[in-house]
Amino acid sequence: MDKDNQFIGHILALFTSFIWGTTFISTKILLKQFHPVEILFLRFLLAIVVLWLICPKEKLKTTKKQEIIFAFAGLSGICLYYLLENTALIYTLAANVGVIGCISPLFTAVIVSIFYKDREKISPNFFVGFVLSIVGISFIMFNGMSIHLNPIGDALAIIAALTWSVYSILIKKLTNYGFSIIYITKKTFLYGILFMIPFLIFSDCHIGITRFLSPVNAANLLFLGCCASAICFASWSKAIKILGAIKSSAYIYLIPFITIVAATLILKEPVSVFLIAGTVLTLSGLIISETDKKSGTLNIK
């Protein structure tokens, strides 16, 4: 692949990670007046409207197998991931969720090694890095207990990271079929919204028009729907297509630093020794796990 394409892929991954690092802040602010699944539904409903306006006529035939992959991508990366993440933010700090979410590349590597054994082997460094990252996450979770937060939030963030890994691999598979990035994004959003409906029906959401009149709420919903979802999911899918799922996922390492800085400046969240130590250990483990990979590109057919 030419260097220009590689450069574009890295820029897209960097841009996406920066925006996603701040989404925890917007969601935390909206949780004061909105239910987690309500934020999720509104965010992606707005996103799919934007994408449909950008590209309204694209209709492609898909096989049954491809349709199933689209459905699972929508379930894992849109519905479950964000529902788990939004719920986690109720119980724990935005900084905690940001740091824990960056272990997704580890899960991606494990899944690839299990289901695609002839594609990419896990190196010894991976296991060393994995242990360091788990120790780091433990520090973060103990920090939560020490300041009387519920560790359930941290556990939900870990499960969310796992579902995101599944989504990344499915997206790589869909791009190999030749579908456009906009088409993949729209279709996964549509399935994600469909899977959200049962959660929305059985949640305690209520109609409150005055909430939408608040400039803060409106601005954060627009940011999450238009920028962080419609634009960033397309840019992330393009980055995965160019760089591969594992190499693109490495940019997730930047998200904790962005989240911690934003949470400290905007939400005034405390930065403790446990959080700093846990962040350093987690990211060190992730970097070590990647050190002797010759290529981060997956070849999933």
CA distance 20 to 23: 5
Residue 98 tokens read as 């940001």
The helix-helix angle for 152-176 and 64-73 (nearest 10°) equals 150
Burial classification of residue 30, based on how many CB atoms lie within 10 Å of its CB (0-12 exposed, 13-18 middle, 19 or more buried): buried
Region of 268 please: left (phi>0), alpha (psi -120 to 50) or beta.
left
Q: Which long-range contacts (CB under 8 A, 24 or more apart) does 202-207 make?
A: 203/35, 203/37, 203/38, 204/35, 205/35, 205/37, 205/38
Residue 183 tokens read as 């088409």
Which residue from 28, 4, 2, 86 is spatially nearest to 220, judged by alpha carbons? Answer: 28
Question: 160 near 85, Cβ under 8 Å?
Answer: yes
Q: State whether residue 117 is helix, strand or coil.
A: coil
Q: How far is CA 174 from the centre of its chain?
A: 18
Question: 236 near 10, Cβ under 8 Å?
Answer: no
pTM comes to: 0.74
What letter represents residue 263's amino acid? A
Residue 46 tokens read as 């707005």
Residue 208 tokens read as 């409150």
Domain ranges of the chain: 3-290
Question: 98 near 259, Cβ under 8 Å?
Answer: yes
CA distance 131 to 147: 25
- pLDDT per residue, tens digit, the chain (301 aa), is 466 678 888 889 889 988 988 888 898 899 888 888 888 898 899 998 888 887 777 667 889 999 999 999 999 999 999 899 889 888 888 877 877 877 777 787 777 777 665 455 566 776 777 778 777 777 766 655 444 456 788 889 889 989 988 998 888 888 888 888 888 888 999 999 999 998 888 777 666 778 888 899 999 999 999 999 888 878 887 887 888 766 776 677 777 777 777 888 888 877 777 778 877 887 787 677 666 544 443 333 3
CA distance 279 to 284: 8
